[in-house]
């Protein structure tokens, strides 16, 4: 994984926590990172990061189930 990809995953997870108003904890961040790794490829997460898309963890988990 490249630096840009890992940064994109981390930024997307941080945006989720910020958008949801969650406390910034390592545990929640780890859960979000794992979820994002499973759902998005490196190219998809880079596009999400560059387009400043704000994800919601609940809606993202629903997408996973479909």
pTM of the model: 0.80
Tokens of residue 42, six digits: 């490196």
Which ranges of the chain would DSSP assign to H, the alpha helix? 3-20, 26-39, 42-50, 57-65
pLDDT in tens, 8-23: 999 999 998 988 887 8
Return the residue matching tokens 């400043």: 52
pLDDT value of position 1: 85
Question: Given this model, what pLDDT does residue 43 score?
Answer: 93
Q: What span, in angstroms and rounded, lies between the C-alpha atoms of 14 and 41?
A: 18
Residues 20-66 have pLDDT tens digits of 887 889 999 999 999 999 989 999 999 988 998 888 776 766 665 54
């Amino acid at each position: 994984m490249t630096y840009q990809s890992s940064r994109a995953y981390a930024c997307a997870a941080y945006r989720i926590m910020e958008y949801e108003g969650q406390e910034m904890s390592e545990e929640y961040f780890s859960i979000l990172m794992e979820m994002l790794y499973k759902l998005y490829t490196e190219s998809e997460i880079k596009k999400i990061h560059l387009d400043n898309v704000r994800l919601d963890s609940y809606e993202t988990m629903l997408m996973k189930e479909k």
